[in-house]
Chain A
Amino acid sequence: MILIGERINGMFSDVKQAIADKDKKVIQDLATKQTELGASYLDVNVGTAAADQQGTIQWLVEAIQEVCSTPICLDSQKPDVIEAGLKVLNADNGGMLNSTPLNKKNDDEILDKFIEMANQAGPKVNIIALTMDKNGVPQDIDTRVAIAAEIVQKAMEKNFDIQRLFIDPIILPVKVPNAQIQPGNILAAVDQIKYLSDPTPHMTMGLSNLSQGASERSLINRTFLAMAMAHGMDSAIVDVLDKKLMNVVATAEMLMNKQLYSDSYLKAYKAS
């Protein structure tokens, strides 16, 4: 499971404060802690924490790279913010550009721009593409799959390695009225997106969004994560500090025969 640690995001108050105070230590502690707990990538999102998004993402990336070599997932829907992040990113460690829709009302070429940026950054830099287009976030299964198909096709046209492509079918808060059908739709879409190409693109999602505003957030997150993994989701943007969630990841991988069972398999998973 490719886990992307979600904590370095300006939406969290500690990160917002650290950005305001230019306090590197808070960011660096979050980076090392998430790495220790199993993050394969560290998501970095300025959010609304600063007006100067470009300068701030660079400051965050540089602060993280001072203390660990975990690949960074630059998180912004604005190509110029991603581009600013890429200027200071050590792409030899790998990286991720998160995220682009298929197209936007005011930017028909946004996916092309992301692919170009990833290609220029080097062979270890991946892309997360959302099953979303100029009409917004689709609610049904078919539109999600259709958009994913167009994304895959575009990647192939641009000679972009499909194994560097992560498709995010966009999970919405389950608490929103009439949204309870969405988790099932996501699973059905994942089932179909897997057959779009061989090799298949990776599948990822911003898991915590699912439980936005709900009670039992951790329980909702980890239950759906196990369900999604069984359907072929092989990545997620998650709170790796959530111990119970991480135990679910280890157990699901073991039950899917991706990790050898041993009585101490939880410990073994953490070690690797």
Chain B
Amino acid sequence: MPIPDLAESFVGAVNKVTLGATKEQGGTRTSTITVGGAKNVVYAGSPGDAGEKPVIAMDVLDVKPEDWPDILAEPYGDVLDNPAQWAKKCIDEFGADLICLKFEGIHPDTQDKDAEHAENVTKQILEAVGVPLILWGCGNNEKDNLVMPKVSEAAKGENCLVGTVEEDNYKALTAIALADGHHLITAAPLDINIAKQVNILTSDMGFPLEKIVTFQSTGALGYGIEYAYSIQERQRLAALSGDKMMAMPMICDVGFEAWRAKEAKTVDAPEWGAAQDRGPIWEATTAVCLLQAGADIIRMRHPRAVKAVKNFINQIWK
């Protein structure tokens, strides 16, 4: 009697997604980035099943951050009010794989900046760095629908990753991303069923499933990470079981979430350990945890956390 092979075998795989367009591809990027392709859960299966290495996108804001703790702002020195130099520093000094340009300043509750501002910042960053870009709206639907189409157009042909689209607000950005040749981030509020629905809705508009990256919402260590973890894991398992509507690579917003935690940003708490270490540790731990649930792109902020997570990625995805 033969010994049955009990190794888990999956029929599906995570889609491979390539961001950025070089000169030959109609853009101006000097390099592209490919993520996805996993054919098993993280750590399991043969090395060939692991897919592409996850990547780190460092956040650059369109305006000077007003509420960043000193420990987070300090490594950036004087570039925080200059997005182009900020982006360059992330690539040249901190080893970021790509840049996530987050339009914090267009939100009506912050500086309510206009589309022209957003277009300008986009162009400056495209000029300053050669890596692919993620272009991420402010989260206010009305304002994003006004500004993000202009941003998309300003980066036309660069094959950026733009977002986010949601169940009740997906048409405007999906249409423009399709027209401008970008990839798209579909977002859901820690709800796997809604996540699938958004993918179906965008795909109904003719947007290719192969050009979508999903954002399930992120919770930091101690602040709901278990929800983010289990949903990402569920998405990976759905992808592996052949669910084409859930076979996208995933992105997490670790930097923002980790630095909201009081454990990361409170300086005056010596009983919690050295303040200069706590924040980076909080961010790195959150990132490493979510990488194990299958995240493909991680948005991060502190260079020391980036360094630690890169080290982890390089050891696991050899």
CA distance A262 to B238 in the complex (A): 13
| Cross-chain contact B192 with A260 (CB below 8 angstroms) | yes
Choose from A199, A262, A267, A272 the contact partner of B193 (Cβ within 8 Å).
Answer: A262
A270 CB to nearest chain B CB (Å): 10
| Cross-chain contact B245 with A199 (CB below 8 angstroms) | no
Answer whether residue B242 sits at the interface, using C-beta atoms and an 8 A cutoff: yes
| Cross-chain contact B201 with A260 (CB below 8 angstroms) | no
Choose from A161, A199, A263 the contact partner of B197 (Cβ within 8 Å).
Answer: A263
| Cross-chain contact A264 with B6 (CB below 8 angstroms) | no
Contacts of B270 in A (CB 8 A): none
B250 CB to nearest chain A CB (Å): 15
| Cross-chain contact A268 with B200 (CB below 8 angstroms) | yes
Answer whether residue B307 sits at the interface, using C-beta atoms and an 8 A cutoff: no
| Cross-chain contact B243 with A259 (CB below 8 angstroms) | yes
Choose from A162, A198, A199, A272 the contact partner of B243 (Cβ within 8 Å).
Answer: A272
| Cross-chain contact B196 with A262 (CB below 8 angstroms) | yes
A81 CB to nearest chain B CB (Å): 29
| Cross-chain contact A262 with B4 (CB below 8 angstroms) | no
**Would A156 and B1 be within 8 Å (CB), given that A260-B238, A271-B244 are in contact?**
yes
Interface size of A by CB at 8 A reads: 19
B206 CB to nearest chain A CB (Å): 13
Answer whether residue A159 sits at the interface, using C-beta atoms and an 8 A cutoff: yes
Contacts of A157 in B (CB 8 A): 1
Answer whether residue B125 sits at the interface, using C-beta atoms and an 8 A cutoff: no
Answer whether residue A261 sits at the interface, using C-beta atoms and an 8 A cutoff: yes
| Cross-chain contact A262 with B6 (CB below 8 angstroms) | no
Choose from A162, A261, A267, A268 the contact partner of B4 (Cβ within 8 Å).
Answer: A162
Chain B: which residue is nearest A268 at the CB level? B245
CA distance A271 to B200 in the complex (A): 9
| Cross-chain contact B196 with A271 (CB below 8 angstroms) | no
A125 CB to nearest chain B CB (Å): 18
Choose from B2, B200, B242 the contact partner of A262 (Cβ within 8 Å).
Answer: B200
Contact with B along A2-14 (1 / 0, CB 8 A): 0000000000000
Choose from A161, A258, A262, A272 the contact partner of B194 (Cβ within 8 Å).
Answer: A262
Closest 4 CB pairs of A and B: A262-B196, A262-B197, A272-B244, A264-B200
| Cross-chain contact B246 with A260 (CB below 8 angstroms) | yes
B144 CB to nearest chain A CB (Å): 23
B39 CB to nearest chain A CB (Å): 17
B237 CB to nearest chain A CB (Å): 10
Answer whether residue B18 sits at the interface, using C-beta atoms and an 8 A cutoff: no
| Cross-chain contact B242 with A271 (CB below 8 angstroms) | no
Beyond known contacts A263-B193, A267-B204: 11 more, CB 8 A cutoff: A156-B2, A162-B4, A199-B6, A258-B241, A260-B192, A260-B234, A262-B197, A264-B204, A268-B200, A268-B243, A271-B200
B179 CB to nearest chain A CB (Å): 23
CA distance A159 to B2 in the complex (A): 6
Interface of B is mostly: helix
CA distance A260 to B194 in the complex (A): 10
CA distance A265 to B238 in the complex (A): 13
CA distance A259 to B204 in the complex (A): 19
CA distance A199 to B2 in the complex (A): 12
| Cross-chain contact B244 with A198 (CB below 8 angstroms) | no
Answer whether residue B22 sits at the interface, using C-beta atoms and an 8 A cutoff: no
Answer whether residue B203 sits at the interface, using C-beta atoms and an 8 A cutoff: yes
| Cross-chain contact A260 with B1 (CB below 8 angstroms) | no
| Cross-chain contact A262 with B245 (CB below 8 angstroms) | yes
| Cross-chain contact A267 with B200 (CB below 8 angstroms) | yes
Contacts of B200 in A (CB 8 A): 262, 264, 267-268, 271
Contact with A along B177-204 (1 / 0, CB 8 A): 0000000000000001110110011011
CA distance A271 to B246 in the complex (A): 12
| Cross-chain contact B201 with A264 (CB below 8 angstroms) | yes
| Cross-chain contact A199 with B4 (CB below 8 angstroms) | yes
CA distance A263 to B199 in the complex (A): 11
Contact with B along A192-209 (1 / 0, CB 8 A): 000000110000000000
| Cross-chain contact B197 with A272 (CB below 8 angstroms) | no
B247 CB to nearest chain A CB (Å): 9
A-B contact pairs, 26 of them (CB 8 A): A156-B1, A156-B2, A157-B1, A159-B2, A161-B2, A199-B4, A199-B6, A260-B193, A260-B196, A260-B245, A261-B196, A262-B200, A262-B245, A263-B193, A264-B197, A264-B200, A264-B201, A265-B196, A267-B204, A268-B243, A268-B244, A271-B245, A272-B242, A272-B243, A272-B244, A272-B245
Quick one: which of A211-262 are within 8 Å of B by CB?
A: 258-262
Contacts of B1 in A (CB 8 A): 156-157
CA distance A255 to B34 in the complex (A): 35
| Cross-chain contact B196 with A268 (CB below 8 angstroms) | yes
A144 CB to nearest chain B CB (Å): 23
Contacts of A262 in B (CB 8 A): 193-194, 196-197, 200, 245
Contacts of B241 in A (CB 8 A): 258
Contacts of B243 in A (CB 8 A): 259-260, 268, 272
| Cross-chain contact B193 with A261 (CB below 8 angstroms) | yes
Chain B: which residue is nearest A258 at the CB level? B241
| Cross-chain contact A271 with B203 (CB below 8 angstroms) | yes
Contacts of B4 in A (CB 8 A): 162, 198-199
Quick one: which of B1-17 are within 8 Å of A by CB?
A: 1-2, 4, 6
CA distance A157 to B1 in the complex (A): 6
